[in-house]
Amino acid sequence: MEFRTTLLEDNIAAISGEGRLNMVSAAALREAVGEVITQDRIRVVVDLSGIEFMDSSGLGALIGCLKTARQAGGDLRIAAPSKQVTMVLQLSNLDRVLKSYDSAEVAYRD
């Protein structure tokens, strides 16, 4: 899977992809987030609207990306998770750690 990066207002980086976030695609997500952090875009939102399925490898990548963003002084939030992604987040008790918003555009409007 390829992840696309879009710059939103206020230098927020939105990263999105379509398909499954699993052990096959997790490395590509880490790479995409690492790249925007290197470019000093430390407020990141991962738009999950195109992610139909996520497993614990994908979840681990999101946690790794969150740590990378926070270590750089920024943050990582998620937007528009599917029912299955929401289920995995809740069962893992990570829905409090990875804050979810309705869309990438509103993820930093607080």
Residue that the structure tokens 């470019």 belong to: 39
Decide if residue 93 touches another protein (CB under 8 A): yes
Give the whole-angstrom CA distance, residue 16 versus residue 6: 8
Return the number of the residue (7 or 97) whose C-beta is nearest another protein. 97
Give the whole-angstrom CA distance, residue 62 versus residue 100: 12
| Least CB distance to another protein at residue 4 (A) | 20
Residue choice 6, 53, 102, 103 for contact with another protein (CB under 8 A):
53
Report phi then psi at 8, rounded to 5: -95, 180
> What residue type is 72 in one-letter code?
A
Question: Interface with another protein by CB under 8 A: which residues?
Answer: 20, 22-24, 53, 55-57, 59-61, 63-64, 67, 83-84, 87-88, 91-94, 97
